[in-house]
Amino acid sequence: MGASLSWFAVRAKAPEAVLQDFGLKNVGNEYRETPFCGGKLPSGWFLVIHGRHEFTNDEVRRLSRGCEVIACFVEEHVMVSRTAGWRDGEQVWSVTHDAQEGDGHLDIQGEPPAGFAAIRDRLTRQQEKDNGADFIFSIPVDLAKEITGYSHEDRQQIAFDNLVKPTFFQRLFER
């Protein structure tokens, strides 16, 4: 079974402000059935993972006001991946692979960070050697990992907290 999620790495914004932007509450290690989790990465970025969700530009625009955000979407069932860099409410760049558009599909908007070309070249060569495997899918994912140190495929020893979105009544009666 493949991954289906978005994650947001945020730099230069307090974790409490990030959670507030999402309308989330940190419940620590307490088990909850929730599509959200997150925590501080060793690289200094604050991470929020949202399972079974494709991020929207409006969502990242709001989140990135006053800070920098790397947003990554992965849908392995149909081999779609997307990473975008945002700063102060504006998208700076994005890299998207959609296998439904073709094995070599790669849509690039703006100017991706310096490490992009090396990642693209390495994975393109790897795909050419191994007919049938979709290595282009990994270009956006590997780029996000190079920037933030995080990949959904390589969770290391990161302790994530459970995050919940309180209901209207929970927000009304909790202080």
Q: How many CA atoms lie within 13 A of 10 on its CB side?
A: 28
Q: Which residues pair with 8 in a beta bridge?
A: 48, 71
* φ, ψ dihedrals at 32, nearest 5°: -140, 145
pLDDT tens, residue by residue, 92-138: 999 999 999 998 999 999 999 999 999 999 999 999 998 778 999 99
pLDDT tens for each residue of 17-32:
999 999 999 998 877 7
pLDDT at 118: 98
Average pLDDT, the chain: 92
Q: Kind and range of the H or E element at 25?
A: strand 25-26
Take residue 56 and report the two structure tokens written for it: 């929207």
Give the residue from 60, 66, 54 showing the smallest Cα distance to 22. Answer: 60
The answer on pLDDT for 16 being more than 90 is yes
Instruction: Yes or no: say if 41 and 157 are a contact pair by the CB < 8 Å rule.
Output: no
Does residue 1 surpass a pLDDT of 60? no
Q: Contact, 7 vs 71, CB < 8 A?
A: yes
Give the pLDDT band (50/70/90) at residue 172: low
Instruction: Please give the model's pTM, rounded to 2 decimal places.
Output: 0.93
Taking the C-alpha atoms of residue 38 and residue 19, their distance in angstroms, rounded to an integer, is 10
Q: Which residues contact 135 (CB under 8 A, 6 or more apart)?
A: 123, 124, 126, 127
Residue 72 predicted with pLDDT over 90:
yes
In the predicted structure, residue 175 carries a pLDDT above the cut 60: no
d(CA 27, CA 22): 14
| Confidence at 49, pLDDT banded by 50, 70, 90 | very high
